[in-house]
Copies of this chain bind each other. A is one copy, B any other.
Amino acid sequence: MSLKLRRLDTHASDFKVALRALLAFQADEDEAIERAVADILADVKHRGDAAVLDYTKRFDRLEAAHLSALEIDATQLEHFLLGLEPKPRAALEAAARRIRAYHEKQKIESGSHSWQYVEADGTVLGQQVLPLERVGIYVPGGKAAYPSSVLMNALAAQVAGVREIMMVVPTPDGVQNPLVMAAAHLSGVSRIWTIGGAQAIAALAYGTETVPAVDKIVGPGNAYVAAAKRRVFGTVGIDMIAGPSEILILCDGTTDPNWVALDLFSQAEHDELAQAILLCPQAEFIEQVAQAMNRLLAGLPRQAVIKQSLEKRGALIKVRDMAEACSLANEIAPEHLEISALEPRRWLPQIRHAGAIFLGPYSSESLGDYCAGPNHVLPTARTARFSSPLGVYDFIKRSSLIEVSEQGAQTLGRIAAELAEGEGLQAHAQSARGRIR
């Protein structure tokens, strides 16, 4: 099987057009899915447990007399961990430790503490910062059941201080994934129900007799889950709706071409819509990477997916120099950016938009996906221009604190009244003036 790889060159007159076509991705809204999801949400909102049980029976072929029978309790969870082979167990525990450590650091650095200050006249201003109370984590079942996603989502919430972490995970035909359950145990998940789809999102958002309503829902899912999350947004908070995964590798030609090839593959193997792009100033090196890709592809079980993803959405792009590569990277604003170069820190100040930045030849995206520590839930589809990796900051919320002293009210009252009158809001003005002696 040989790869038909797209080659582009920034010198080409049609490069901008070709790049735009390459990056274009329109998530099509499916009317049938939208309607089905709207119906499921309304049904669960009204019938609660009974509706969730009906859909679980229909979609997952899983029957229960009561929703509580689909809950996995804490001791069962621990057994999943204890039942693992030593190697996967050690790896899962090591990953959990590292992810927790990174997020602990992030909690301190990102300002998750309350603060206040006193002004000369005694007025106190500040912000009270609290963790969210109850969070729901959606974990996909079936083929895309990733224990690493459980760790990333739940640990960020747990480190932020969220007390109640509720997880839902569909188990079609009742098949449970021990690694997923063990990961839930390691990351402090409070309760788990083996339910999924729009019905699980509805249960978390509205609450049922058995499932308590949460304040925010995070985690990836299929088109139904994404549509459901979008619809319950406002009733609860949600994380970003993720698009297809992306990697952009900036290479100065000094990295082992096999490594670069495998890093592109490790993105492409996610799914046919994933995007893997290489930017490099050296035509020769690009050729070596292409050869490595053709050589290495055969050994991979997911080669069909990789081939389709690379041929449909991948590209090897020859750039003028690394500076141009950085500028293109900002245009692309990729989810994952590898700066695979001798002096990666030289280029870092030129990078403005990327979900995660991997520096140097040893920092493969795969390490970040599992265990480096930073979160692998990252902004896709150019949203790195305005959004951030999932983090402890997504599980806290702030209230402003305003304690005006009697003296402060004299000054502030005059300012506020003047501005309120300018806006035609007389009750505001009188309320402010009322406090003036």
A4 within 8 A of B: no
Considering only CB atoms, which chain B residue lies closest to A260 in the complex? B431
A128 within 8 A of B: yes
Interface string of A395-437 (1 = CB under 8 A from B): 0011111111110110011111111101111111111101100
A416 contact from B90, B241, B370, Cβ within 8 A: B370
| A222 CB to nearest chain B CB (Å) | 17
Contact A216 B386 (CB under 8 A): yes
Q: Please state the number of chain copies in the assembly.
A: 2
Is chain A's interface secondary structure helix, strand, loop, or mixed overall?
Answer: mixed
CB-CB under 8 A from A300, the residues of chain B are 426-427, 430
Contact A385 B427 (CB under 8 A): no
Contact B403 A344 (CB under 8 A): yes
| A51 CB to nearest chain B CB (Å) | 20
Contact A399 B357 (CB under 8 A): yes
Considering only CB atoms, which chain B residue lies closest to A236 in the complex? B386
Question: How many residues of chain A get a CB closer than 8 Å to chain B's CBs?
Answer: 128
Considering only CB atoms, which chain B residue lies closest to A416 in the complex? B370
Scan residues 346-387 of chain A and give those whose CB is less than 8 A from a CB of chain B.
348, 351-375, 378-379, 381, 383-387
A210 within 8 A of B: no
A109-B127, A269-B427 known, 13 other contacts, Cβ within 8 Å: A91-B422, A95-B415, A105-B125, A111-B111, A130-B352, A147-B423, A259-B431, A268-B427, A362-B406, A368-B400, A369-B428, A378-B400, A389-B398
A interface list, Cβ under 8 A from B:
87-88, 90-92, 94-95, 102, 105-106, 109-113, 115, 117, 123-125, 127-128, 130, 132-133, 143, 145-148, 179, 215-216, 234, 236-237, 241, 256, 258-259, 262-263, 265-266, 268-270, 296, 299-302, 306, 337, 344-345, 348, 351-375, 378-379, 381, 383-389, 391, 393, 397-406, 408-409, 412-420, 422-432, 434-435
